[in-house]
């Protein structure tokens, strides 16, 4: 589909930068992201910028915690120099202005007093923060008044004992996850706790948490930065795709920790389905989970001899152990009929109108239709897990085989590639079924289903080879076949994604519901 | 059990409160430092609340007053739930000063009672919050875990 021209026509200029064609996208400068403000040069070499290669790829960059810290420090130093204010105050002001440096400087030049007041930096009394013992002092929080009680007050003068301050900060930071906007405990006082005072008052573990949270505000305040949602991952991803673009593009990014996720909604990779569709689909699945649950069970009966068959690999080509009947796990149809032009396992055949005359019949048809797609969606999800198990089992055997056959670690890596291709292709296939569920039937849909079928057949074929016993896997011929099939699967996936993404960008899909 | 922190502060509050509360506020019970009951009345002639007494239940966590107390109206035959656009019919109050964001540890039982008293005094609307029936039927969470969207506080 040659669509670059129409693709661009509907976009304003700053989005062109984001969705631009690869041909004019070789310089890797950060300006490509269409930022509102120039970013400091962080010394990223060109290889760090993950360049868009396919029409469905988006530009993005991975930031490690030290990069995020450096970005903040640069901004703080800049404001510190331009406005000639303390670094702590510059940090508070920047956070107050949600890290929009230009607006801060502009507003500060106009009305410095008001800006300071609003950010909780009211009238300035000189001197660093310190703990004091004030004779006759009684703390308004705990009502303690013993002599020698250490107390603290920020520049607003509201004084509390150190113990209460600690409890208060602990509550705010640990329980409420607050950092950038912790106010003085006094009712109605807008004075903001600064990092220096905080460090004076609390232990190092709380200080650390506080600084982590402060760093989070930087990422959370920027529309083009998001945290990697993988557990224990501390990286952030930068991507220029904006919320309003999400009906045109599925911005999928890969963190350095290998987690692939959607920058738009933070869910795991859901290409080719756009975010809104995914949200609708997940909600539908949750609402209908009881009707659908029995479907995704792991055991079925052989359609010929009725003996129970358990699925323990990702492949859908089932062979009954008892009667040797070969059938498709998904549709229970004859496997030999799969791949012929008239057979469609992936397509839901709409029943003719005459069959669905009454409301009950209609609702049955609509449930059947949903189950058709849900079934396949859930099956690919499950199969991806099973493929992974197979790989892990195989990996162990491969290690044994390496010692026995003299194959090197490098020489068995094709299995790893095959496993990864299976995972990622099944992830895509899974979402093609949610996608297809919401598609209205037309020529484009037929093309989509053909692409889906091609990918699915390739994946099932690879999955089947992949499940072969280790002895057979060691055969060089099978190795070549697996490697070929792996790259074929990858190719089919890219074709499907490119085609879907182009149509999405052009807004030419027609949906059975409105989003 | 409330210990240390809350206990000390609450015993100070209690000794200050005894026989010394502003008009329209009475301490009903303060056994231990976990749950207190107070009655409040609206003193002006607001027709919505005339000749009525309302009962407030305060629940304190061990880290009171760093954490806000949980404050609700409780009903009994002679203690109805006051009609107010920020008070649900199950007694749950939607007031920012009782939420984590709006709470200040210098607030106390007395000042909360006074705030609620004046919230009633100033009200002219004989109505419940929007979605009251649904909220009361479905809510299983404790008031402190509910993310209220605070309506404007002038009401
Ligand atoms: Zn204190
Ligand atoms: Zn203050
Ligand atoms: Zn990550
Ligand atoms: Zn998404
Ligand atoms: Zn059989
Ligand atoms: Zn089939």
Contacts 24+ apart (CB under 8 A), A163-171: A164/A139, A164/B66, A164/B105, A165/A201, A166/A201, A166/A202, A167/B5, A167/B63, A167/B66, A168/A141, A168/B66, A168/B105, A169/A193, A169/A198, A169/A201, A169/A202, A169/A206, A169/A210, A170/A202, A170/A206, A170/B66, A171/B63, A171/B66, A171/B67
CB contacts of B6 in chain A (<8 Å) are: none
Give the pLDDT of residue A285: 85
Region A353-364: what's the mean pLDDT? 58
Residue A287 buriedness (CB in 10 A; 0-12 / 13-18 / 19+): exposed
pLDDT tens digits along A140-157: 998 888 999 999 998 888
Give the DSSP per-residue string, B59-121. Answer: E--TTTTTSPPEEEEE-BTTBPPPPBTTB-TTSBB--GGGSTTT--TT--HHHHHHHHHHHHH
CB within 8 Å: B8 and A186? no
Give the pLDDT of residue B109: 95
Tell me: pLDDT of A49 over 80: no
Q: How far is CA A341 from CA A344, A345, A349, A365, B99, in A?
A: 8, 11, 15, 25, 64
Alpha-carbon distance B6 to nearest alpha carbon in chain A (angstroms): 8
Alpha-carbon distance A158 to nearest alpha carbon in chain B (angstroms): 11
Tell me: pLDDT of A321 over 60: yes
What average pLDDT is seen over chain A?
Answer: 81
Distance (angstroms) between ligand 4 centre and the Cα of A367 equals 26
Tell me: pLDDT of A483 over 70: yes
| pLDDT top residue among A261 and A393 | A261
Domain residue extents for chain B: 4-129
Region B53-58: what's the mean pLDDT? 96
How many CB contacts within 8 angstroms connect chain A with chain B?
37
The bound ligand whose nearest atom lies closest to the alpha carbon of A235 is 3
Tell me: pLDDT of A435 over 80: yes
Give the pLDDT of residue A124: 57
* Cα B85 from chain centroid (whole Å): 15
Provide the pLDDT confidence category of residue A44 given band limits of 50, 70 and 90.
very low
Q: How many Cβ atoms from other residues are within 10 Å of residue A290's Cβ?
A: 7
Region A18-22: what's the mean pLDDT? 39
CB within 8 Å: A143 and B66? no
B4-129 has which CATH code? Answer: 3.10.110.10
Q: What percent of chain A has pLDDT over 70?
A: 81
pLDDT tens digits along A59-75: 999 999 999 999 999 99
B94 is catalytic: yes
Chain A interface includes B110 (CB < 8 A): no
Chain B interface includes A49 (CB < 8 A): no
Alpha-carbon distance A149 to nearest alpha carbon in chain B (angstroms): 16
Top mean-pLDDT range of A41-45, A396-400, B42-46: B42-46
Residue from B104, B110, B145, B153 to probe the interface with A (highest A Cβ count within 10 Å):
B104
Q: ipTM, 2 decimals?
A: 0.77
Alpha-carbon distance A230 to nearest alpha carbon in chain B (angstroms): 26
Q: How far is CA A313 from CA A384, A393, A395, in A?
A: 9, 11, 15
Distance (angstroms) between ligand 4 centre and the Cα of A495 equals 20
Q: 124-163 in A: which are within 8 Å (CB) of B?
A: 140-144
Tell me: pLDDT of A29 over 50: no
Region A43-58: what's the mean pLDDT? 59
Chain B interface includes A181 (CB < 8 A): no
Nearest to B65 among A141, A170, A188 (CB): A141
Chain B interface includes A166 (CB < 8 A): no
């Amino acid at each position: 589909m040659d669509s670059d021209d129409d693709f661009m026509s509907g976009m304003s200029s700053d989005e062109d930068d984001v969705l631009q064609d690869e041909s004019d996208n070789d310089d890797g400068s950060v300006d490509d992201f269409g930022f509102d403000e120039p970013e400091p040069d962080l010394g990223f070499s060109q290889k760090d910028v993950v360049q868009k290669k396919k029409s469905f790829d988006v530009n993005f960059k991975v930031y490690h915690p030290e990069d995020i810290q450096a970005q903040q420090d640069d901004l703080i130093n800049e404001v510190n120099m331009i406005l000639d204010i303390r670094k702590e105050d510059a940090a508070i002001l920047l956070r107050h202005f949600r890290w929009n440096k230009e607006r801060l400087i502009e507003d500060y030049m106009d009305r410095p007093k008001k800006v300071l007041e609003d950010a909780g930096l009211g009238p300035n009394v000189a001197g660093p923060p310190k703990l004091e013992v004030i004779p006759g002092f009684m703390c308004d929080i705990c009502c303690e008044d013993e002599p020698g009680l250490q107390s603290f007050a920020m520049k607003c003068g509201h004084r509390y004992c150190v113990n209460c301050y600690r409890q208060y900060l602990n509550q705010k930071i640990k329980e409420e996850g607050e950092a950038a906007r912790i106010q003085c405990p006094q009712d109605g006082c807008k004075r903001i706790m600064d990092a220096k005072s905080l460090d004076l008052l609390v232990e190092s573990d709380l200080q650390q948490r506080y600084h982590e949270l402060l760093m989070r505000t930087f990422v959370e305040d920027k529309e083009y930065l998001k945290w990697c949602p993988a557990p224990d991952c501390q990286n952030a991803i930068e991507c220029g795709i904006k919320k309003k673009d999400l009906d045109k593009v599925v911005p999928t990014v890969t963190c350095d920790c290998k987690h692939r996720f959607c920058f738009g909604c933070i869910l795991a990779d859901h290409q080719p389905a756009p975010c809104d569709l995914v949200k609708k689909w997940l909600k539908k699945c949750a609402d209908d989970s009881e009707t659908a649950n029995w479907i995704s069970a792991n055991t079925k009966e052989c359609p010929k001899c009725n003996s129970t068959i358990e699925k323990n690999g990702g492949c859908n080509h089932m062979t009954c152990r008892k009667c040797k009947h070969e059938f498709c796990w998904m549709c229970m149809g004859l496997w030999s009929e799969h791949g012929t032009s008239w057979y469609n396992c992936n397509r839901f055949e709409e029943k003719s109108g005459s069959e669905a005359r009454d409301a009950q019949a209609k609702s049955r048809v609509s449930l059947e239709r949903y189950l058709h797609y849900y079934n396949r969606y859930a099956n690919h999800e499950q199969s991806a897990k099973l493929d992974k198990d197979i790989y892990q089992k195989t990996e162990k055997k491969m290690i044994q085989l390496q010692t026995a056959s003299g194959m090197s670690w490098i020489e068995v890596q094709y299995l790893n590639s095959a496993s990864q291709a299976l995972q990622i292709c099944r992830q895509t296939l899974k979402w093609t079924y949610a996608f297809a569920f919401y598609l209205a039937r037309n020529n484009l849909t037929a093309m989509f289903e053909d692409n889906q079928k091609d990918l699915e057949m390739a994946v099932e074929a690879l999955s089947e080879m992949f499940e072969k016993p280790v002895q057979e896997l060691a055969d060089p011929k099978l190795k070549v076949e697996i490697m070929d099939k792996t790259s074929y699967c990858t190719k089919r996936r890219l074709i499907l994604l490119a085609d879907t993404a182009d149509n999405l960008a052009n807004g030419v899909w027609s949906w059975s519901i409105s989003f | 059990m409330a210990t240390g922190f809350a206990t000390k502060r609450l015993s100070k509050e209690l000794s200050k409160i005894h026989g010394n509360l502003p008009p329209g506020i009475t301490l009903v019970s303060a056994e231990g430092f976990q749950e207190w009951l107070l009655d409040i009345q609206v003193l002006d002639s607001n027709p919505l609340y005339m000749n009525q007494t309302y009962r407030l239940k305060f629940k304190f966590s061990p880290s009171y007053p760093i954490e806000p107390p949980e404050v609700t109206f409780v009903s009994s035959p002679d203690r109805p739930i006051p009609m107010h656009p920020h008070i649900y019919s199950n007694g749950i109050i939607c007031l920012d000063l009782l939420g984590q964001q709006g709470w200040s540890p210098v607030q106390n039982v007395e000042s909360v009672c006074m705030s609620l008293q004046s919230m009633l005094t100033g009200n002219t609307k004989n109505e419940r919050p929007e979605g009251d029936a649904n909220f009361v039927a479905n809510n299983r969470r404790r008031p402190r875990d509910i993310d209220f969207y605070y309506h404007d506080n002038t009401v």
